[in-house]
Structure 1
Amino acid sequence: MSYSDTKQHNQHKKTNLKTALSMAAGALLGTGAIVHEAKAEILTDWQFDSAFLYYSEAERVTAAEIIVSANKTFANDEVLNVKLTIDSLTGASANGAVVQAQAQTFTRPSGEGQYVSQAGNTPLDDTFKDTRVQLNAQWTQPLAENYTASIGGHLSKEFDYLSLGINGNLALDFYKKNSTISLGFSHFQDRYTPIGGIPKPYASMLIGDSNSPSWHEDFAATRIASGDNKITSDVLVGFTQVINRRMITQFNYSYSMVRGYLTDPFKIVSVLNQAGTAQDYIYEHRPDERKKQSVFAQTKYHFDQGLLNSVLDFSYRYMWDDWQINSHTLDSTLHMPLASRFGKASYLQPHIRYYQQSAAGFYRPYTFVEQVSNGSSEENFISADYRIGAMTAVTLGLKYGFSLNNGNDFSVRLEYYRQMPSNAGFDQPSELANLTVYPVVQAVIFQLSYSFL
């Protein structure tokens, strides 16, 4: 799980449960919509949802995010949703190099200046900083009896990244509206212009006297372009079924094709001698295409007796791709109503999530001098990015929410995240035997949400 996995914003509970789950097939692609079932004449005002999220990894990345979402329902059950997201990221990010028993010196991605990683520490680039502004708009309307369509647009801008996208979804209700089939799509065009430019795959990181007359010329020789593009196309098919008055299920299949620049320009790979001492650092190289598939199943069950009238939400997702990564995700919440607080009903919602992932076929925590001399061709991919390595992760959290006297809703969420990378079968040189090659990543997630009319 990455930082983006924590960006969850709960919609107001006026949503019809079955319709919401059926349209969630589109939501996974960014095409989700809120379809209210109350009478049109009383749903002509704007409804606002807002959230503040704080995410902090121990000694690494810290993120702060503000989300404001607005819904407008019109007389013919047409719904407009507009959502603005602003987030800021600071801190340090692992650059891909492996830990060493001695201090290591690296050049910053811009080529201006250097930084030092102390002996025994995972090398972290402390220049990580970015601000993102994202705007999504979605229009949903009935097309005919039992047919609902949704179309939307996406704009996201960071310092070095621009993303533009469109999406759409079509849902068909049948069997007395107890069953729904939906088909969603999305298409994104992204432009990446990283500071310092696009590194040449397998090129050695330039390290030395940055004040030398030839420094800028030598640094430029390790670059191949100022920027590059990425295209993402997704298709999702979903089926939702009401089992009875207390249970509803959903099943999705998704296919994603990503083409273009998929390498991380800020990641490097350590080149070791046989003893395990770093001799060089080379820029990683990933394929320019990735095909991903996934299946998803979700069940919601309402305990109307016992368990405090609770609602159990359980889901499972299996993903596989042609990078040889496969993953399993189990996610569960239990919505438990409490006695009245602040004049209105309140609830507790514990959350647990388990994630397990295999490593990409070209993942290497480090490489060796002999392998680099024989493996720098266009077809030999390599990356030491722990995010595509073998890992397990667990999230534990608790959410508390209540309604105010004016009908508005407030909630607070606190979660703990622990990511545990593991060795995917690589032999470890003697000099790394007493060092932490696969460090645990821990994070705290805190969120405040407020919904109002």
Structure 2
Amino acid sequence: MTSLRNYLIIFLSLCAAIANAQDQSDHSTYKKRVLETTEVDFLTSYYSQDGDNAAVSGGIGTEKLTDATGTFVVSIPLNDDDVLTIDAGVSAYTSASSSNINPFDGGRRADPFVASSGASSGDVWVNLTGSYSHSSDDRNNIVSGKLSVSSEYDYFSFGFGGSYSRLFNEKNTEISVNANVYLDSWNTIYPFELRAFGNNGIGFFRPTEITGNVNYNPNFTEFDKTNRNSYSIGLGFSQILHKNLQGSLALDFVKQQGLLSTPFQRVYFIDVADSFIEDFQLADDVERLPDSRFKVAMGGRLNWFVNELITVRTFYRYYFDDWGINSHTASLEVPIKISDKFTLYPSYRFYNQSAADYFGGYETHLSTQEFYTSDYDLSEYKANQLGFGVSYTDIFTQMHIWEFGLKSIDLKFYKYDRDTTFSSYIITGGFKFVMD
């Protein structure tokens, strides 16, 4: 962790040094700065979900979860051409589902539909990202790079990447390419009852309380890999088709290798007798998935400026991977400008996907299979999302906090429902400040 923090400091120092050297170059010809002044964005959200197909308890049980986030994004113009951006965020959640990693450490009777109150019922995720972008004098070439680190109780990630954009045809056409690498590591945490049967197990903790199959003896082995690496490359093309019409296309490839299973997600086999303590069924194994995955996504956007009051934004994406999932996403957003300062944002999104080859619900897998999961994120389902937002913009920044003027406020609400038992909603807020 310390070495990675040092790398981030070195990276940002080099960016500042390069920017300083460029700032000393000849600026005899006037050019508009890429970013006129320092901008600060504060982003926050509150998320809540519920359902009855928790992967932690093998496809059954509560999926209740709440999450609150706060993020600061500071964009600093280093000179006419270069911008340094620092993105720092914290997310804190409580989860009835993950609390049942150990369902026996709470004060109530163990049950997959009841949250335990133990240590795994909540966590904090933190992230820090630094990025640097440089624009050419004619603003037709943009190069950027970034470094990021994030961490939570069972997971650590280090990432780096970069992008290049080229504008031509009097800036009516843009092509871009971006690439990112994420090097992640797990602190493998297994369902509580399986830990005694792992590499260093010394026997089950409450054998006299088992009901059903009292000879509980799962054939469980711990994962020999605890890292996951992800490599992505994306290609983009954008074109102004008409003064009121803009379209874009995107093609993305992602390759993942390493531990792609979640170590604390249980699986129950149909050919193994059930064992219980209280009302909680003891795991037969954890989710087992291949150690590689290749993903492809292709999509497009079409934005139509109808008039000064209404814009229509459309989006479609097709996705497939070598785990057998195919999906379609379509969305529509219609910003409606109701005054000089206020805009409304009604939206709708539709999504459907096929099931992964390795998915099966509660007690549908056989113990003889090589790969298996009961995570309903990998199941076949359809989903609908309705959204509504409002935006306030004041280009004159009449409201101030210290030396910063408030430029805009964005508030949005989204309601999401699957055709399984899963549903969720999220409330987001964004506040943009600029230095006077």
Number of residue equivalences: 366
Q: Structure 1 pair 171/43, CA: closer, same or farther in 2 (3 Å)?
A: closer
* Residue 132 of structure 2 corresponds to residue 156 of structure 1: no
Counterpart residue identity of residue 141, structure 2: Y
Point out the structure with the larger strand share. 1
Q: Structure 1 pair 179/403, CA: closer, same or farther in 2 (3 Å)?
A: closer
Counterpart residue identity of residue 419, structure 1: R
Counterpart residue identity of residue 254, structure 1: D
Unaligned runs of 5+ in 1: 1-37, 96-105, 422-439
Q: Structure 1 pair 353/281, CA: closer, same or farther in 2 (3 Å)?
A: same
**Distance across 2 between alignment mates of 1:229 and 1:244:** 48
**Distance across 1 between alignment mates of 2:144 and 2:252:** 18
Q: Structure 1 pair 151/209, CA: closer, same or farther in 2 (3 Å)?
A: closer
Alignment counterpart, residue 141 of structure 2, candidates 138, 147, 169: 147
**Distance across 2 between alignment mates of 1:191 and 1:239:** 34
How far apart are residue 383 of structure 1 and its match? Answer: 0.4
Q: Structure 1 pair 128/176, CA: closer, same or farther in 2 (3 Å)?
A: same
**Distance across 1 between alignment mates of 2:101 and 2:145:** 45
Moved more, 86-95 or 276-285: 276-285
Q: Structure 1 pair 397/151, CA: closer, same or farther in 2 (3 Å)?
A: same
Counterpart residue identity of residue 293, structure 1: V
How far apart are residue 142 of structure 1 and its match? Answer: 2.2
* TM-score w.r.t. length of structure 1: 0.72
**Cross-structure match for 1:48:** 40
**Distance across 2 between alignment mates of 1:196 and 1:381:** 17
Counterpart residue identity of residue 424, structure 2: A
How far apart are residue 330 of structure 1 and its match? Answer: 1.0
* Residue 70 of structure 2 corresponds to residue 62 of structure 1: no
How far apart are residue 334 of structure 1 and its match? Answer: 1.2
**Distance across 2 between alignment mates of 1:279 and 1:209:** 11
**Cross-structure match for 1:253:** 251
Alignment counterpart, residue 385 of structure 2, candidates 381, 392, 395: 395
Counterpart residue identity of residue 163, structure 2: N
Alignment counterpart, residue 176 of structure 1, candidates 158, 163, 170: 170
**Distance across 2 between alignment mates of 1:132 and 1:318:** 30
1:23-42 equivalence runs, <5 A: 40=32
**Distance across 2 between alignment mates of 1:77 and 1:280:** 57
Q: Structure 1 pair 272/63, CA: closer, same or farther in 2 (3 Å)?
A: same
**Cross-structure match for 1:239:** 237
Unaligned runs of 5+ in 2: 1-29, 51-61, 209-215, 276-280, 400-405
**Distance across 2 between alignment mates of 1:89 and 1:182:** 36
* TM-score w.r.t. length of structure 2: 0.74
Specify the SS of the correspondent of 2:410.
strand
**Cross-structure match for 1:293:** 296
* Native 8 Å contact 1:107 1:114 kept in 2: no
How far apart are residue 210 of structure 1 and its match? Answer: 2.1
* Native 8 Å contact 1:193 1:226 kept in 2: no
* Native 8 Å contact 1:263 1:286 kept in 2: yes
Counterpart residue identity of residue 304, structure 2: Y
RMSD: 3.6
Q: Deviations over 1:211-264 (max 9, x none)?
A: 579xxxx99994526970000000111111011111111101111100000001
**Cross-structure match for 2:314:** 314
How far apart are residue 303 of structure 1 and its match? Answer: 1.2
* Native 8 Å contact 1:323 1:361 kept in 2: yes
How far apart are residue 64 of structure 1 and its match? Answer: 0.2
**Distance across 2 between alignment mates of 1:291 and 1:362:** 15
Q: Structure 1 pair 228/279, CA: closer, same or farther in 2 (3 Å)?
A: closer
**Cross-structure match for 1:449:** 430
**Distance across 2 between alignment mates of 1:220 and 1:138:** 48
Moved more, 399-408 or 64-73: 399-408
Percent identical among aligned pairs is 22
